[in-house]
Amino acid sequence: MARAPASRKRRTKSLTFRQRVVCWAFRPTRLVLAAALALSWLFWSQVERKLPQLETREEYHIGPEHVIITPPPHWVPRDLVEQVFVRAGFDESLSLLDPSLSEKIALAFYTHPWIEGLKQVRKSFPARVHVEVVYREPVAMVEVVGGGYYPIDRHGHLLPNTDFSAADIDRYPVIKDVTSVPLGNLGESWGDPAVQGAAQLSAVLTRNNEAGQSWWTALGLETIRAPRRLAVDDEVDDLQFRIETSGGSQILWGRAPTTRHPGELTVAKKLKRMAEYHQINGFDDALEPFVLDIRPWRGTKRSLLAAEPDSSTRQ
C-alpha cells in the first residue's frame, strides 16, 4: 500500500483548524449542494404558491354529511350532527388534512347535551369522520313549581326540552315536589340532590323486569315524590323517596338506589316486595289510598294514607 509522502503529512499537520475547515467546505460537490439548498430556500415561497392547496379541495372537505356517528336511539334528534356543527361554529373550512381535526370534532361532540361519553374519533378517505359515542337516555320529567317539565337522564343531568313534545311527558315518570330550578346548562347536573336521587330511582323503575316490561308500567306507577331538603348541605344519601301509584296510594321507597347505608334494603329486595304485594293485593284495588312501607327488614307494612299525620309531608 502506497503511503502519503512525508512532506504532505507535515503540510496537513501544519494547517490550523480553521484552514482545515475551509479546505473541507470549499470542495466542488459541497459548494454545489450548498448553492442548491440556498436557491431552494429563496424560491420555495414562489413554488409553494404554485402547488395545489389540498386543504381546500372538495375531496378533503368535511361537513355534517361526512360525519358518521354511532346509530342513535329513537329519543336522540335526527339532526344531531348538524346541531353539533352549529354549536361548535364549524364552517366550510374543515379539512380532513387538518392535524387537529379529530380533537376539534371530539370536543364538539363531547360538549353536546345528548352525549354522555366519547369513545373514538377516526378519520378515513374518501373524506369521512367516524365518531363513536355513548348517548344520554331520558328517564324522567321533572315538574317544576309554576308549571313546565324538564327531561333528565339517570344522573340528573338536564336534557334539551325542545327535543320533546307534549305527548312525550306521558312516556316517562314524572318527578314532583321539586322546588329548585336547574343550576347547570344543558347536559349538566341539575344541582339538587333530590333531583339526582329521583333520577336514579326512575332509572331503576324504568328497567325491564323478567317479563320484558318495565317495572314502572307493570306496577302502574305514576310519579316520584322528591323529598324536601332539610339542610343546604344534604347529600343524596340523606334523602328518602316516595312513589305514587295511579290510584293515589304511596310507596315508601327509602333512600336512593346508589345508597351504601348499612340499614337499607337492596334494590332487588325492594322491587321484589313491590312486585309480590302488587300481584297479591294490587296497589289501587283498596277503597281508600294507602301507604305501603317496603323499607322495614321484617316485612312490608301498610296503613291508610288518611291516617298519616300529613300526607303531603316529605321525608
pLDDT digits (tens, 9 = 90+) for 139-148: 999 998 877 8
- Which residue would you say has higher pLDDT here, 290 or 228? 290
pLDDT value at residue 5: 55
Domain assignment present for residue 20? The answer is no
Peptide bond into 193 cis (omega under 30): no
State the pLDDT confidence band at 45, using cuts at 50, 70 and 90: low
* Separation CA 223–CA 200 (nearest Å): 14
Model confidence band, residue 312 (pLDDT cutoffs 50, 70, 90): very low
Do residues 159 and 218 share a domain? yes
Q: Is 193 contained in some domain?
A: yes
- Among the residues of the chain, which ranges form H helices? 6-14, 17-25, 28-50, 80-88, 101-110, 193-205, 215-218, 267-280
pLDDT, position 294: 96
For residue 119, what are the domain limits?
56-135
Q: Are residues 108 and 233 in the same domain?
A: no
Domain boundary among 84, 113, 135: 135
Is 1 inside a domain boundary?
no
- In this structure, is residue 21 part of a structural domain? no
Calculate the alpha carbon distances from 49 to 39, 44, 53, 58, 94 in Å: 16, 9, 9, 19, 21
Is 209 a domain residue?
Answer: yes
> Of the candidates 105, 135, 165, which is a domain's last residue?
135
* Listed range (94-98, 115-119, 199-203, 286-290) with the worst mean pLDDT: 286-290
In the chain, what percentage of residues exceed pLDDT 90? 58
Q: What is the CATH number of the domain that holds 213?
A: 3.40.50
Same domain, 182 and 299: yes
Mean of all residue pLDDT scores within the chain: 85
How confident is the model over 153-211, as pLDDT tens digits? Answer: 999 999 999 999 888 888 999 999 998 999 989 999 999 999 999 999 999 999 999 99
- Do both 166 and 302 map to the same domain? yes
| Predicted pLDDT of residue 305 | 83
Of 199, 187, 245, the residue nearest 221 (C-alpha): 245
- Does residue 143 belong to any structural domain of this protein? yes
Average the pLDDT over 232-242 and give the result. 85
- The structure's pTM equals 0.77
Is residue 300 domain-resident? Answer: yes
- Residue 140 near residue 224 (C-beta atoms within 8 A): yes
Backbone dihedral region for residue 265 (phi beyond 0: left; psi -120 to 50: alpha; all else: beta): beta
Reply yes or no on whether the pLDDT at 47 is more than 70.
no
Whether 60 and 168 share a structural domain: no
User: Is there a single domain that holds both residue 178 and residue 245?
Assistant: yes
Q: Are residues 66 and 155 in the same domain?
A: no
**Is residue 152 domain-shared with residue 253, that is, in the same domain?**
yes
| Number of domains composing the chain | 2
Q: Give mean pLDDT, residues 108-120.
A: 96
Q: Does residue 281 belong to any structural domain of this protein?
A: yes
